[in-house]
Amino acid sequence: MALLSTELLRRLEQIQLLARRRARSSLKGERRSRARGQSVEFADYRNYVAGDDLRYLDWNLYGRLDRLFLKLYEEERELPVSIFLDASESMTFGTPRKFDFARQIAAALGYVALCGFDRVSVRIFPEETAGSPGGKRAARAALRAVRGRKSSLRFFQNLSGIEAGGGTSFNEALRRAAIESRHTGLAVVLSDFLDPAGYEAGLDALVGRGFQVDAVQILAADELSPSTYGDLKLVDSENGGVQEVTFGKFRLAAYRKTVQDYVQRLSEYCAGRGIRFFMACSDAPLEDFLLKRLRQAEVLA
């Protein structure tokens, strides 16, 4: 099944990712940067010094002030877009699965970036083990550096081939990416944020490295408001732990309050660090999330 409909793709082609900070990549692209180079966008003047290119002297200014000034231009750079996709076992929960919804968001944001000639890197965690089939490892590797709209078909194919499973490694995955990244840019984290080890260390690593971070928490409807109660056997999807509980109506209400509090704490944590936070249910209409919520928040324009 296609990740995105043809109609949605057409609409995504008309919008772009917004970056609050100017691009700092050393690679040529379509974004304005602080670097000075050769383009049509005038930036500033500076005094002429011996050896400067005479083609950039402003002779009109020289005629008025009898001094030599060099014209500076803003150089256009690409925006590195890093998408962190949680593919742990907990993301397979829900109908539709949280992972499927997260993967669609990754596909949509990646496509917008590719149409804008930005460089896209999808980092999937947990990492594949050495015993994983070579084709799956190759698909993950191919998602690490994608650029240009012509690469979108292969991008979608590789993303469609990713499967969820295994334990969470949220903090380690984000920390390692922050250390390894040569260029900062926009980082979009797609996860349920339910790692027992927390999320603080990973998000702090990205912010500390200089990334502009957007966090999207994806939960299933049954996680937000479960309808099943009574004597239940709960099985942890990642470590196999089993716990028997009696889940009455009053405990159900307490559970819902606990979930709301957890989401609120995550939202406040992100706000305190300049991270844009979004919470989405896995059964939410994809178009509404992308074309309404993200555009209203000026993630897309």
64-123 pLDDT per residue, tens: 888 898 877 655 567 899 999 999 999 999 999 999 999 999 999 999 999 888 899 999
- Residue 203: which H helix or E strand, with range? helix 200-209
Angle between helices 134-142 and 152-160 (to 10 degrees): 140
Both tokens of 37, joined, read 């180079």
Q: How far apart are alpha carbons 68 and 46 in whole angstroms?
A: 9
Domain that holds residue 33: 28-77
State residue 97's pLDDT score. 97
Strands 119-125 and 230-235: unpaired
Closest residue by Cα to residue 219 from 269, 283, 167: 283
Tell me, yes or no, whether 45 and 16 share the same domain. Answer: no
Interval 225-246 mean pLDDT = 64
281 and 218 co-located in one domain: yes
The pLDDT assigned to 260 comes to 96
Same domain, 37 and 148: no
Q: Mean of the per-residue pLDDT values for the chain?
A: 85
pLDDT for position 252: 81
Burial profile 105-122: b = 16 or more Cβ within 10 angstroms, e = fewer: bbbbbbbbbbbbbbbbbb
The rounded distance, in Å, linking the Cα atoms of 118 and 27 is: 10
In the prediction, which pLDDT does 151 show? 93
pLDDT band with cut points at 50, 70 and 90 for residue 22? very low
pLDDT at position 214 is 97
Task: Point out which residues pair with 186 in neighbouring strands.
Answer: 81, 212
Q: What pLDDT does residue 19 have?
A: 66
Do residues 33 and 73 share a domain? yes
Q: Is 301 within the bounds of a domain?
A: no
My answer on whether 73 and 194 are in the same domain is no
Q: Which of 68-77, 82-91, 179-188, 279-288 has the lowest mean pLDDT?
A: 68-77
Report the domain count for the chain: 2
Q: How confident is the model at residue 250 (pLDDT cuts 50, 70, 90)?
A: confident
In sequence order, the 6+-apart residues with CB closer than 8 A to the CB of 164 are: 87, 88, 89, 91, 92, 97, 99
For residue 116, the model assigns a pLDDT of: 85
CB 197 within 8 A of CB 172: no
Q: How confident is the model at residue 44, as a pLDDT?
A: 67
Tokens of residue 49, six digits: 């010094």
Domain match, 192 and 249 both: yes
Angstrom distance (rounded) from CA 124 to CA 66: 59
The answer, as to whether pTM is greater than 0.85, is no
Q: Are residues 174 and 55 in the same domain?
A: no
Which residues have CB under 8 Å from 50's CB, separation 6+? none
Q: Between these two residues, 97 and 233, which has the higher pLDDT value?
A: 97
SS (H, E, C) 3-28: CCCHHHHHHHCCCCECCCCCECCCCE
pLDDT at 51 over 90: no
Structure-token pair, residue 69: 């000034």
Is residue 154 pLDDT above 70, yes or no?
yes
For the chain, what is the radius of gyration of the CA atoms? 23
In a domain, 1, yes or no: no
- Are 62 and 99 members of one domain? no
